[in-house]
């Protein structure tokens, strides 16, 4: 299987937003300067205008960054309204700054502001009217995903709960009394309780993931987090007679988030679950291009091509051959953690050649 790696996106979403806003402002400033030069403005006038535009671009970038943070948890329609309002305020702020620095007559500045507000109002109203059907469709899609998630959670909770209830009632009613059967029931009850605990823990961690909190955590080394993950999965691998191979290629001392250990553990658990008896699971890592690259590869039947886009969906287990005792959130949680670390995770698979999950996160070194 080819050793392809995901590419890193820019590290900070806030930085991306500020860069986009600044890029738009710089493009507008460049267009205005070209128009000014074409109209015969002198070099001194163009230099002065460029300095004023620099102030305007800075104001716009700051305003957009603040607005995005304030609108992060808003509904889609409120966010659209906020975008329109932020656009108007950014335009007015730029106008005020430029008018003050250029010593524009107050009356003229007010007239320009009125025309600007009118133009922005018409544009915002048109944008909101055109975007409303799309926003409604997106809201319906999000609500559908929420219902599907609740249905899946309810189903996965119902199975171990039903098993626990049946065994508790059998013991309580005296149907089961001999020690051997009681031990069997106790072991099954422990397994069901463990499945419930794993599901609740995964759900809680999935909801609590926040990038700032993860970035503030102390770093660990890759060797430490990998060692903890291998220790947690070692017994499962031993039960199937699997071989766990690691090749860190000089990356053992690479600093990384402790959360990466949970990613490796979840990927290992998934690989072990779907690797045939006496098979091999390989973990590889290396440092390259400012990022820490990690992969977990297993032997087996692999994942059908049509199912590859679904593997990170909550509670997706594919066909019956890929179902198991997991919570159904392991790969979803792994992806969310990687994305919270400003990294990327991808999967590739070929028929009868197993699957390979590749992760790349920014290097903390």
Q: What is the pLDDT of residue 333?
A: 84
If you ran DSSP here, which 8-state letter would residue 322 be given? G
Question: Is residue 45 over pLDDT 80?
Answer: no
Span of 139-148, 178-187, 225-234, 262-271 with lowest mean pLDDT: 139-148
> Cβ distance 164 to 189 under 8 Å?
yes
Span of 36-50, 148-162, 171-185, 244-258 with lowest mean pLDDT: 148-162
Question: Is residue 169 over pLDDT 80?
Answer: yes
H or E element, residue 292: strand 291-298
Cα 133–Cα 143–Cα 311 angle in degrees, nearest 5 = 110
Confirm whether pTM is higher than 0.75: no
Distance CA 353, CA 76 (A): 43
What 3-state class would DSSP assign to 354?
Answer: coil
Which among 275, 296, 313 is positioned nearest to 348, based on CA atoms?
Answer: 296
Distance CA 36, CA 49 (A): 9
The arithmetic mean of pLDDT across residues 329-344, rounded, is 85
Strand residue runs (E) in the chain: 220-221, 243-247, 255-256, 280-288, 291-298, 344-349, 355-362
Which of the pair, 322 or 82, is modelled with greater confidence? 82
pLDDT digits (tens, 9 = 90+) for 80-119: 666 666 666 666 666 665 565 555 566 666 666 666 666 6
283 is written with which tokens?
């973990």
Sheet holding 243-247, edge to edge: 243-247, 280-288, 291-298, 355-362, 344-349
> Cβ distance 56 to 25 under 8 Å?
yes
Which among 53, 97, 101, 104 is positioned nearest to 89, based on CA atoms?
Answer: 97
Span of 184-188, 272-276, 323-327 with lowest mean pLDDT: 323-327
**Average pLDDT of the residues of the chain:** 76
Span of 16-20, 38-42, 120-124, 225-229 with lowest mean pLDDT: 120-124
Q: Hey, CA dihedral for 145, 147, 149, 155, is it positive or negative?
A: negative
Confidence of residue 356 (pLDDT cuts 50, 70, 90): very high
First to last CA, the chain: 30
């Amino acid at each position: 299987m080819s050793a392809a790696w995901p590419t890193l996106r820019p590290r900070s979403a806030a930085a991306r937003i500020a860069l986009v806003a600044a890029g738009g402002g710089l493009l507008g400033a460049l267009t205005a300067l070209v128009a000014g030069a074409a109209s015969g403005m002198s070099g001194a006038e163009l230099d002065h205008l460029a300095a004023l535009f620099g102030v305007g671009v800075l104001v716009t970038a700051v305003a957009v960054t603040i607005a995005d943070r304030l609108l992060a948890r808003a509904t889609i329609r409120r966010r659209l309204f906020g975008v329109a309002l932020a656009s108007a305020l950014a335009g007015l702020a730029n106008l005020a700054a430029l008018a003050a620095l250029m010593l524009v007559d107050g009356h003229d500045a007010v007239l320009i502001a009125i025309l600007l507000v009118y133009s922005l109002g018409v544009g915002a109203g048109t944008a909101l009217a055109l975007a409303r059907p799309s926003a409604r469709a997106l809201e319906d899609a999000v609500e559908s995903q929420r219902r599907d998630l609740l249905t899946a959670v309810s189903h996965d909770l119902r199975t171990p709960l039903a098993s626990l209830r049946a065994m508790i009632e059998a013991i309580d009613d005296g149907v089961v009394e001999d020690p051997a059967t009681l031990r069997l029931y106790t072991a099954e009850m422990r397994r069901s309780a463990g499945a419930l605990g794993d599901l609740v823990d995964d759900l809680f961690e999935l909801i609590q993931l926040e990038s700032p909190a993860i970035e503030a955590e102390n770093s660990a080394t890759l060797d430490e987090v990998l060692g903890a993950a291998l220790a947690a999965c070692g017994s499962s691998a031993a039960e199937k007679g699997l071989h766990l191979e690691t090749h860190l290629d000089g990356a053992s001392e690479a600093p990384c988030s402790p959360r990466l250990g949970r990613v490796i553990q979840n990927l290992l658990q998934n690989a072990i679950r779907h690797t045939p008896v006496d098979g091999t699971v390989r973990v590889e890592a290396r440092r390259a291009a400012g990022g820490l690259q990690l992969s977990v590869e297993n032997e087996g039947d692999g994942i059908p091509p049509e199912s590859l886009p679904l593997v990170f969906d909550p509670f997706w287990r594919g066909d019956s051959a890929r179902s198991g005792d997991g919570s159904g959130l392991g790969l979803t949680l792994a992806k969310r953690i990687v994305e919270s670390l400003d990294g990327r995770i991808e999967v590739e698979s070929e028929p009868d050649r197993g699957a390979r999950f590749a992760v790349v996160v920014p290097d903390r070194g």
